[in-house]
């Protein structure tokens, strides 16, 4: 029991230290604040959960471009799963020239910009939210391709926080 008590106290100390340091702008401990938001999310698939956990680990290791990419990928996976949840009926009705029948087909044939527009067309997101998602995609593209964009801790934490908030909104909507 003594060892368990010591481990519990150490973990409590580490948690409290992160909470104290999280208020300082340049402190990597600010990931703790994101972790709290992350814990509020529900119904994530195993893949989405793992992608978001990896994004947070990338922040902790100062891999900010990679963190942007992983957070975006988790959001896209959620969107694709939501659009597939009714067998693509709403999607195919809104996009009459599309004949999507499987998740694999959606992933292979529809680029992410088109996917975002489709979210608006099926009323999963508003026009304003569509534009926000397009901005997120633009930042993801800057991180995924050669560019002079090197986000810092604050930019990355903001990006992930925004992605987590969009995920929460989408999860709360009936589709």
Q: Per residue in 22-49, pLDDT tens?
A: 544 445 555 556 666 667 667 789 999 9
Q: In degrees, to the nearest 5, what angle opens at C-alpha 56 toward C-alphas 54 and 57?
A: 60
Confidence grade of residue 3 (pLDDT, cut at 50, 70, 90): confident
Domain ranges across the chain: 30-172
Angle, helices 64-84 vs 127-144, to 10°: value is 140
Q: How many residues does the chain have?
A: 175
What is the rounded distance in angstroms from the CA atom of residue 133 to the CA atom of residue 94?
19
Segment among 9-23, 95-109, 151-165 with least mean pLDDT: 9-23
CA separation (Å) from 145 to 39, 65, 68, 124? Answer: 30, 10, 12, 28
The topology (CATH level 3) of 30-172 is 1.20.120
Q: What is the mean pLDDT of residues 102-129?
A: 97
pTM: predicted TM-score of the whole model, two decimal places: 0.80
């Amino acid at each position: 029991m003594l060892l368990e008590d010591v481990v519990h106290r150490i973990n409590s100390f580490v948690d409290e230290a992160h909470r104290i340091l999280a208020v300082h702008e340049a402190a990597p401990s600010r990931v703790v604040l994101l972790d709290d938001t992350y814990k509020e999310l529900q119904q994530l698939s195993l893949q989405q959960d793992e992608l978001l956990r990896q994004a947070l680990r990338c922040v902790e290791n100062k891999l900010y471009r990679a963190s942007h990419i992983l957070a975006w990928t988790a959001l896209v996976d959620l969107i694709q799963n939501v659009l597939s949840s009714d067998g693509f009926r709403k999607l195919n009705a809104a996009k009459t020239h599309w004949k999507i029948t499987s998740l694999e087909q959606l992933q292979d044939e529809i680029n992410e910009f088109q996917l975002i527009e489709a979210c608006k067309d099926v009323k999963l997101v508003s026009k304003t939210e569509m534009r926000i998602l397009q901005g997120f995609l633009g930042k993801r593209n800057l991180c995924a391709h050669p560019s002079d964009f090197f986000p810092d801790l604050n930019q990355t934490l903001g990006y992930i926080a925004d992605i987590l908030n969009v995920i929460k909104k989408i999860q709360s909507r009936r589709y």
